[in-house]
Amino acid sequence: MRMYKCIFALLFLFFCSSCARNTNKDTQVTSEIAENTEKSIVNTAPVTFIISNDMKGEFVSIYRNLSLQSFTAERHLYTKKKSDTIQFAIDKAEIVYVASKFTTKDTLRVKNGDTIYLALNRKQLNISNATVLEHFKLSTDTIDSLRNSFYYIDYKSPFKLQSNTYQKLDPIFPLRINHENFKNKPVALVQLATTLVDRYKMLAKTYDSLGNKTPSLRPLYSLLKEELNYETFFELNRLYNYSKNEDLKKIITSDLFFNENTIDEHTLYKKLNVFIGKIILDGKRIREKSKLKMDYKTAFEVIPKYFQHTELIAAAKFVAINGDAMQGASKESLNNMIETFNNEFSNETYATYFEKIAEDYGLSKNISSQDTENVHIVDIHGKTTQLDSFINTNKGKVIYIDFWASWCAPCRAVMPDSKKLGDLYKNKDVVFVYISIDRNKESWKKAVAAENLETSTANFLSTNYTSATFFKELSIKTIPRYLLFDKNGKLVHQDAPGPDSAEIKNLLDKYLLK
């Protein structure tokens, strides 16, 4: 710091002595040097959360939004240690959410170098040392009055949601739509839209001004401005979704929301996802295997019609690929889209993103993923093996296999019974094996933590569930499903009783004696 003060002092004396000779030129040079100096001292330290937890076995959670800037990073960070420190790098500033199963998400806006303290005590999550900035509301009395003629949120009829393992869920309130007014009041609808845009523009200038007055908080004010931009964009899309008003569509597709600078926004991923669903696909979905899905493949093909900037086209196509992966697209389809993308764009950043998608969804065309003869499994530490090898290694023991997945509620409902069963036979020659058929490795890891399976030495993810004939021959299409192998490694029950039944104990005792 002393060195920087000396530099500024020397620069000041130099330019004061020469200002009489060329004021305009010197002012420009001074501005450039000051700007470069400011860039050189920007804090790039990670965000640090120091956590204390007096509630044994309970999680303190930190959530990050899905964004292009942090795509390859962990988006859900959690700990149940009595004391812990969690750090992660961010790009200048970011929104994060902290919660426990006793508390709903608290929104924090953090910047590089921040240190925040979280304390879970007596079912309360206390936060200290976080920077709190006033977030100006987009709404005004005029906007509320206009909006209420088209829709309102019914706070009297909440859908109450139960807490999950990591957080207490907020209730969801239904939206009451006046379809007649959407159809018959186009002038008032456009007035609402333009009033929302005008309010955003005014507040955006306010955030810019506040950032200039307090440079240390500029990243947070820029973040607030991006949030407000997304909030405006989202509401305009909602209005368009119910009206199909072309004037609204022109506003949504304007450079107010998508321009050459948009690529750096933290809200770009979710903004593009909304745009793909509401504008490109016009809110329509396709039915696939009894599920309604977004037609990301069609969106992927027509995206260039909607954007002028190459970087935005690339970003939108990437969002379409990841969106299709998240809703369960086939490996072949995803690999084809990625190959098409790579032929169009040469951006190393996306290569890293696709590596993560390939890892999360098992897209690699290696021998193990394509192997049909063997069942390939990987443990939580990344060590791979084959199911046959595991069974051979454990000959002399009875093996009880539980096929499950993070999204399978019945599977997870009997996990406590499975643990009790394991405790009952922990000193006997029985191996309890958990094999997940999750398509997403991150979802599996998160469920493993929630179910306290990290310490199990027989906890695996199947990496070729869709191709291995083993699953087809045994018709393992629905889960939970349990298999029982005797001490010789022979499959003696291909549809064994569940861990919550009395029958399984009788069977285990029977094969232990053989």
Q: What separation in angstroms does the CA of 67 have from each of 41, 94, 341?
A: 26, 10, 19
251 in Cβ contact with 193 (< 8 Å):
yes
What is the per-residue pLDDT for 42?
A: 54
Dig out the tokens for 166 from the structure: 């990591």
What is the per-residue pLDDT for 43?
A: 67
| Residue 138 domain-assigned (yes or no) | no
Q: Peptide bond preceding 497: is omega within 30 degrees of 0, i.e. cis?
A: no
What is the per-residue pLDDT for 160?
A: 83
Position 511 pLDDT exceeds 50? yes
Position 34 pLDDT exceeds 50? no
What is the per-residue pLDDT for 369?
A: 56
What would the mean pLDDT of 455-479 be, rounded to a whole number?
A: 84
What is the per-residue pLDDT for 5?
A: 36
Is the same domain home to 167 and 72? yes
Model confidence at 455, pLDDT cuts 50, 70, 90, reads confident
Q: What percent of the chain has pLDDT over 90?
A: 72
What is the per-residue pLDDT for 368?
A: 55
Number of domains in the chain: 4
What would the mean pLDDT of 434-452 be, rounded to a whole number?
A: 90
Determine which helix (DSSP H) or strand (DSSP E) holds 404, and give its type and residue range. Answer: strand 398-404
Position 447 pLDDT exceeds 60? yes
Is the same domain home to 90 and 112? yes
* From 6, 16, 19, 408, the catalytic residue: 408
Is the same domain home to 166 and 266? no
What is the per-residue pLDDT for 348?
A: 84
What is the per-residue pLDDT for 75?
A: 92
Position 30 pLDDT exceeds 90? no
Position 240 pLDDT exceeds 90? yes
Is the same domain home to 49 and 71? yes
Residue 16 falls in the annotated catalytic set: no
Q: Which of 104, 107, 80 is nearest to 162 (CA)?
A: 104
For 400-440, the pLDDT digits (tens) are 999 999 999 999 999 999 999 999 998 899 999 999 999 88
What is the per-residue pLDDT for 514?
A: 80
* Residue 29, number of CB atoms within 10 A of its CB: 15
pTM of the prediction? 0.80
Is the same domain home to 13 and 77? no
| Residue 454 domain-assigned (yes or no) | yes
| Residue 420 domain-assigned (yes or no) | yes
| Residue 176 domain-assigned (yes or no) | yes
Is the same domain home to 268 and 389? no
What residue numbers bound the domain in which 313 lies? 183-361
Position 44 pLDDT exceeds 90? no
227: left (phi over 0), alpha (psi -120 to 50) or beta: alpha
Is the same domain home to 300 and 215? yes
DSSP conformation class of 153: E
**Planar angle of CA 57, 58, 64, nearest 5 degrees:** 135
Is the same domain home to 92 and 195? no
What is the per-residue pLDDT for 349?
A: 86
- Is the four-CA dihedral 385, 388, 392, 394 of positive or negative sign? positive
Is the same domain home to 103 and 61? yes
DSSP conformation class of 498: P
What would the mean pLDDT of 180-186 be, rounded to a whole number?
A: 96
72 in Cβ contact with 108 (< 8 Å):
no
Q: How far is CA 67 from the centre of its chain?
A: 8
What is the per-residue pLDDT for 14?
A: 33
In angstroms and rounded to an integer, the radius of gyration of the C-alpha atoms of the chain is 28
| Residue 347 domain-assigned (yes or no) | yes
What is the per-residue pLDDT for 103?
A: 93
For 133-179, the pLDDT digits (tens) are 988 999 999 999 999 999 999 999 998 888 888 999 989 999 999 99
What would the mean pLDDT of 177-193 be, rounded to a whole number?
A: 97
Parallel/antiparallel/unpaired status of strands 151-153 and 76-79: unpaired
What would the mean pLDDT of 233-256 be, rounded to a whole number?
A: 96
Residue 411 falls in the annotated catalytic set: yes
With a CB cutoff of 8 Å and minimum separation 6, the contacts of 157 are 173, 174
Determine which helix (DSSP H) or strand (DSSP E) holds 125, and give its type and residue range. Answer: strand 124-128
Distance separating alpha carbons of residues 136 and 203, to the nearest angstrom: 7
For 77-122, the pLDDT digits (tens) are 999 999 999 999 998 999 999 999 999 999 999 999 999 999 999 9
- Is the four-CA dihedral 27, 30, 34, 40 of positive or negative sign? positive
| Domain limit, last residue, from 336, 361, 386 | 361
What is the per-residue pLDDT for 8?
A: 34
Is the same domain home to 335 and 299? yes
| Residue 140 domain-assigned (yes or no) | no
| Residue 368 domain-assigned (yes or no) | no
Q: Which of 356, 512, 502, 373 is nearest to 441 (CA)?
A: 356
* From 6, 16, 19, 411, the catalytic residue: 411
Is the same domain home to 303 and 280? yes
| Domain limit, last residue, from 361, 386, 407 | 361
What is the per-residue pLDDT for 4?
A: 37
What is the per-residue pLDDT for 18?
A: 37
| Residue 146 domain-assigned (yes or no) | no
What is the per-residue pLDDT for 39?
A: 40
The CATH number linked to 124 is 2.60.40
Q: From start to end of 129-283, where are the E strands?
A: 151-153, 175-177
Distance separating alpha carbons of residues 282 and 244, to the nearest angstrom: 9
The CATH number linked to 457 is 3.40.30.10
What is the per-residue pLDDT for 469?
A: 82
Is the same domain home to 292 and 399? no
